[in-house]
Amino acid sequence: MVQRLDRQKTIAEPITLKGIGVHSGDPACVSLYPAEAGSGIVFQGRDAARGRDIEIPAHWKSVSATSLCTVLGDPGAGGVATVEHLMAALRGLGVDNVTVEMDGPEMPIMDGSSAAFVEAIDSVGLKSLAASRRYIKIMKPVRIASGDAWCELLPYDGTRFEVTIDFPSAAIGCQSIDLDLTPNVFRRELARARTFGSVSDVEKLWANGFALGSSLENSVAIADDKVVNPEGTRWPDEFVRHKTLDAVGDLALAGLPILGHFRSYKGGHRMNHAILVELFENAGQGAFQIAVAPQVREIGSAELVSGLSAAAFGPNVS
């Protein structure tokens, strides 16, 4: 029996999406272009002050802020903010290599979820490349904690996300989700989950010059323990689904897909980034391996495919 080869993927054709930046409120445009095997996800921006174009790899080492969203580089000098929803779509659909061209410092927020990115990628399809996919395979538990919040990565034969949130608002409360990530699961269970926040918090952000593009068109708003949006939520547990979507996008900054079980309680962008720092800088030798996808061996007219092969230990996750 011939198994399907796990090849690296890129998009089949260029894609352009337009919207507004959720924090600036300004028009924002992003274009995605096919990229060669091994190039990964790379953001291209413009440092207007220095009159030069810059490239920023979608990598945990490029993260400069995680308070309101995930930021790569300096948005004032060609960096980009709010990358998590696009990164979630790319990782969720199995896109390994793409060049992301930005016209400004912020990704368009679209409807506050990954749905528009998924729709655009699905509209052009994916192209298989002549290179096997590599993975970061978790070999031993890695954990971080802050107060009663925590997250961890555990060995697992697949990619699993188990996320729990616990908010004082009765509109959210305690919610949990546990799923194995595949492209179809991402499309069906996570892609349409929108970002959310309380009206009072958004008003404070507005007063400080943030979230100027936030509205009921791109966020689930909560006031007096009730959802303000006339249409309500897309799922009763849309809040934890969005937190899981964020985690998929943030962990995509590992540089390669992760084979492992991610668990978190009261997590967020800061802790999602911190678990990658812990894995690659602090956990020590043996916390992970770079595993290579199946290779082809031809015998007569048949192709025989072996399972994942472990490469050498090390931080080569580009």
Write down the domain spans for the chain.
7-310
- The predicted-structure confidence for 223-256, as pLDDT tens digits, reads as follows 999 999 999 999 999 999 999 999 999 999 999 9
Q: Strand 52-57 vs strand 63-65: parallel, antiparallel, or unpaired?
A: unpaired
Distant-in-sequence, close-in-space partners of 258: CB < 8 Å, separation ≥ 6: 135, 136, 138, 153, 159, 251
Q: How confident is the model at residue 314 (pLDDT cuts 50, 70, 90)?
A: very low
CB 129 within 8 A of CB 8: yes
Of the two residues 313 and 308, the one the predictor is more confident about is 308
212 pLDDT band (50/70/90 cuts)?
A: confident
CA-wise closest residue to 292 among 38, 2, 34, 42: 38
Task: Write the DSSP string, the chain.
Answer: -PPPP-EEEEESS-EEEEEEBTTT-SEEEEEEEE--TT--EEEEEEETTTTEEEEEESSGGGEEE-SSS-EES-GGGT-EE--HHHHHHHHHHT--BEEEEESSSB-B-TTSSSHHHHHHHHHH-EEEEEEE-EEEEE-S-EEEEETTEEEEEE--SSEEEEEEEE-SSTTT-EEEEEEE--HHHIIIIITTPPPEEEHHHHHHHHHTT--TT--TTT-EEEETTEE-STT--SSTTHHHHHHHHHHHHHHGGGSS-EEEEEEEES--HHHHHHHHHIIIIIS-TTSEEEEEPP-EEEETTEEEE---EE---SS---
List the catalytic residues: 269
- Alpha carbons 261 and 31: distance in angstroms, whole number: 32
Q: What is the pLDDT of residues 151-209, one digit of tens each?
A: 999 999 999 999 999 999 999 999 999 999 999 999 999 999 999 999 988 888 778 77
Asked if residue 261 belongs to a known ligand binding site, the reply is no
CB–CB of 197/297 below 8 Å? no
Residues 128-164: tens digit of each pLDDT: 999 999 999 999 999 999 999 999 999 999 999 999 9
Tell whether residue 246 is among the known ligand binding residues.
yes
Model pTM? 0.91
pLDDT (tens digit, 9 = 90+) per residue, 252-274?
A: 999 999 999 999 999 999 999 99
**How far is Cα 310 from Cα 288, in angstroms, rounded to an integer?**
10
Which band of pLDDT confidence, cut at 50, 70 and 90, is reported for residue 307?
low
Q: Given this model, what pLDDT does residue 228 score?
A: 94
pLDDT score, position 294:
63
Mean pLDDT along residues 37-65 = 90
Most distant CA atoms of the chain, gap in Å: 70
What pLDDT does 278 receive?
A: 97
Q: What share of the chain in percent tops pLDDT 90?
A: 77
Question: Residue 314 CA to chain centroid, in angstroms?
Answer: 23
- Among residues of the chain, what percentage have pLDDT more than 70? 90
* Inter-residue contact 59 to 36 (CB < 8 Å): no
- Range 53-77 average pLDDT: 92
Mean of pLDDT over the chain = 90
Angstrom distances, CA of residue 281 to CA of 6, 18, 90, 123: 28, 37, 25, 39
Per CATH, which fold does 7-310 belong to? lpxc deacetylase, domain 1 (3.30.1700)
| pLDDT at site 5 | 64
pLDDT at 18: 97
Nearest to 68 by CA among 24, 27, 12: 24
Which of 285, 286, 289, 279 shows the shortest CA–CA distance to 316?
289
- pLDDT band at residue 23, thresholds of 50, 70 and 90? confident
For residue 104, pLDDT beyond 80? yes
Of residues 74 and 121, more confidently modeled = 121
23 annotated ligand binder: no
Burial of 290: CB neighbours in 10 Å, binned 0-12, 13-18, 19+: middle
